[in-house]
Amino acid sequence: MTDKHSAPDITVVIPCHNEAGALPGVLAAVPSGYRIIVVDNASSDDTANVAHAAGATVVSEPTPGYGSAVHAGVRAARTPLVAVLDGDGSMDAGELPSLLGDLDGGVDMVVGRRRPIGSGAWPWHARLGNLLVAGLLRHRHGLPVHDIAAMRIARRERLLALGPLHPRSGYPLALLIGAGRAGWRIVERDISYRPRTHGVSKVSGSVRGTARAIRDFWSVR
């Protein structure tokens, strides 16, 4: 059985906290016809206005945290498929059709495996943390992944059926573990990973931020 998906079937959810500088480039790279929801996660900059000006639907999520923002965007979507990627310009939304092509009738979620392009794209401390977490996913949960699904496409109803997951940085890990327990078939595909285009990452931009994210990861059960 094979699903043939087209642009109207998918909504791109972009969780954002103070990403006004990077957002125009991210939105411009989204393929034509894809619906876009920008989740403004308690930003203090012009994120919401930038998103509105580009024609995106804006959802406000006042509860701080990546997971809270993603869940708000998935709930607001009305399409059978939902894609999620960061709003910092580190991932190319133009690669979404390649992921979509792997979402056939037997696949529930396609996740991106980041491949760094250029120096500084993925600091050593962030890469090390990712290696540890991905190793845990493979060995403890039997999931065929080498990254924590920073960019992904999944079936919306199946996502909602998992219920609210981790509210902060532990969300991608909680999603993969929940999907594994629910018997989802997951496919991993390489994606480009570049240095963010504006500002400093809340996670990989410092050892402290990475340590905080790892703490969130280890809180996931």
Q: Please name the amino acid found at residue 89.
A: G
Report the C-alpha gap between 85 and 95 in whole angstroms: 11
Length of the chain measured in residues? 221
CATH fit for domain 7-218, picks 3.90.550.10, 3.40.50.720, 3.40.600.10, 1.20.1560.10: 3.90.550.10
Written as tens digits, the pLDDT of the chain (221 aa) is: 456 687 889 999 999 999 999 999 999 999 999 999 999 999 999 999 999 999 999 999 999 999 999 999 999 999 999 999 999 999 999 999 999 999 988 999 999 999 988 777 777 667 777 778 888 888 788 888 999 888 999 999 999 999 889 999 889 999 999 999 999 999 999 999 998 787 665 554 455 655 665 566 556 65
- Say if residues 173 and 166 touch (Cβ distance below 8 Å): yes
Domain boundaries, the chain: 7-218
